[in-house]
Structure 1
Amino acid sequence: MSEHEPRKQAPEAGLAAVQREHWQHTYAEHPGMYGEVPSEPAVHATAVFRAAGAREVLELGAGHGRDALHFARAGFTVLATDFSPVGLDQLRAAAGARGLAGRVTAMVHDVREPLPLADASVDAVFAHMLLCMALSTEEIHALVAEVRRVLRPGGAFVYTVRHTGDAHYGAGIAHGDDIWEHGGFAVHFFSRDLVDSLARGWRLQEVHAFEEGDLPRRLWRVAQTAAE
């Protein structure tokens, strides 16, 4: 898919559908695009989850699975979700090749829909840059409410988002609601007010600023715990 196709299709298909197709093509054209080394937030989340006594981890937006595989190697049982079947096929293949298929379950799911899980059924939830995809503020609040619903009391939620101090904020194609598209990828840039509003009813443990990538991207790593 070219850089121009998402802009052309958006009026007919909607930004969400266009972004899904864009990620499908990206994963197909660049298998294992993020490599095998886990992200720094996943390494940090491993310690947070262990301290919380977690055994099961739900990862939202797992992609081709570098972090899901890391959690599995660390001894967790992992349910990895993504809206890209192509990315999840790569995850399943990698898990099988590394002898981790018994610890990793991959499931296609769009986070704009309710999580297909029972109340209080998971110990921990991880999402690296999933919440700052092309989601509206309303959709983000609904997703965090779903995370709270499926987490057991005392369960930990660790997520990362690009924030309004990032160099790409205000650049590229404006979609409204602090969503900006650059190079075909649409990002919802978070203000600190949005982070704080998502923590209401939780115990907010950490908002840590860090940088990632060559730009560099500027992000927050947020850890919050479901009230018992």
Structure 2
Amino acid sequence: MSEEEQELAGAQREHWQQTYGEHPGMYGAEPSEPAVHAAEVFRAAGAREVLELGAGHGRDALFFAREGFTVLATDFSPAGLEQLHEAAHAQGVAERVSTHVQDVRRPLPLPDASVDAVFAHMLLCMALSTREIHALVTEVRRVLRPGGAFVYTVRHTGDAHYRAGTGHGDDIWEHGGFAVHFFPRALVDHLAEGWILHEVHPFEEGGLPRRLWRVTQTVPR
């Protein structure tokens, strides 16, 4: 990681830690639409264990747990994960949820072929370089069992904030304190090499609205 990448990563970590601290439960209690879709995909594939990357304060991780999945929720914000932990106890699903502070630039803390499914809502389009994104998807592939499903969402280059704010290179733009790596379609296709790519579904979220792709791909058996 270059010095500039390290500085950006550190600034974003502090930004998210402060944001979750000042705005507990900032995304609400209802699951995201991609998580509802992912639960259907995971259930159809016979999945029992879900790894969520970038779980934040846990609205989707808690939803997966209520749906009967065992969930490992990771994030690089201890503040967000503490809120998740407290909510899991309050909702009576603590036995199905574990948390781990994780910077996705590091190897995932799991053995090879050890989970059934992986979910990441807007995690891959955080302030990660293209190289780091490829390395992360390689790690996801490593920890998934054959036939395992990976559902992720990313903001793309058709989004209104693309090329707005401060540019950091590599299609990373910072607006309002949040740095986003906006995905061209070619990057989605490159990340799916060696996988079975089932869907690249466009959708919108939020008041701007944010423009995203929901990607569903599986490890060949």
TM-score by length of 1: 0.95
Q: Structure 2 residue aligned with 1:80, among 73, 84, 87?
A: 73
Which residue is equivalent to 1:176? 169
CA drift of 1:12 comes to 10
- 1:18-97 to structure 2, matched below 5 A, reads 18-97=11-90
Partner of 1:4: none
Confirm whether residue 102 of structure 1 aligns to residue 98 of structure 2: no
Distance in 1 of aligned mates of 2:62 and 2:109: 22
Give the residue type in structure 2 aligned to 1:76: F
* Matched residue type, 1:19: Q
Residue 65 of structure 1 and its aligned partner are, at CA, apart by 0.1
Distance 1:13 1:137, change over 3 A: closer
Question: C-alpha displacement at 1:92, in angstroms?
Answer: 0.1
- 3-state secondary structure, aligned to 2:18: helix
Q: Where in structure 1 do 4 or more consecutive aligned residues deviate above 2 Å? A: 10-13
* CA distance in 1: counterparts of 2:6 and 2:186, whole angstroms: 31
- The match for 1:165 among 158, 171, 185 is 158
Aligned to 1:226: 219
For the residue of structure 2 that corresponds to 1:167, the secondary structure is: coil
**Within 2, Cα distance between the matches of 1:101 and 1:73?**
10
CA root-mean-square deviation: 1.1
The count of corresponding residues between Structure 1 and Structure 2 is 219
> For residues 11 and 102 of structure 1, do their structure 2 counterparts lie closer, same or farther at Cα, with a shift above 3 Å needed?
same
The CA deviation string for residues 65-109 of structure 1, in whole angstroms up to 9 with x for no partner, is 000000000000000000000000000000001111000001100
What amino acid does structure 2 have at the position aligned with 1:192? R
Q: In 2, Cα distance between the equivalents of 1:18 and 1:46?
A: 33
Q: Matched residue of 2:174: which SS?
A: strand
Runs of 5+ unmatched residues, structure 2? none
Instruction: Using the TM superposition, give the Cα deviation of residue 11 of structure 1 relative to its aligned residue in structure 2, in angstroms.
Output: 5.8
SS in 1 for 2:94: coil
Letter in 2 for 1:200: E
Percentage of pairs with the same residue:
79
Residue 105 (structure 2) pairs with residue 112 (structure 1): yes
Partner in structure 2 of residue 217 of structure 1: 210
Cα distance, 1:13 vs structure 2: 5.8
Matched residues in 2 for 1:151 and 1:78: separation? 14
- Deviation of 1:227 after TM superposition, in Å, equals 1.1
Code of the aligned partner of 2:184: S
Q: Which amino acid aligns with 2:32?
A: S
Does residue 198 in structure 1 map to residue 191 in structure 2? Answer: yes
- What are the ranges of 5 or more consecutive residues in structure 1 without an aligned counterpart? 1-9
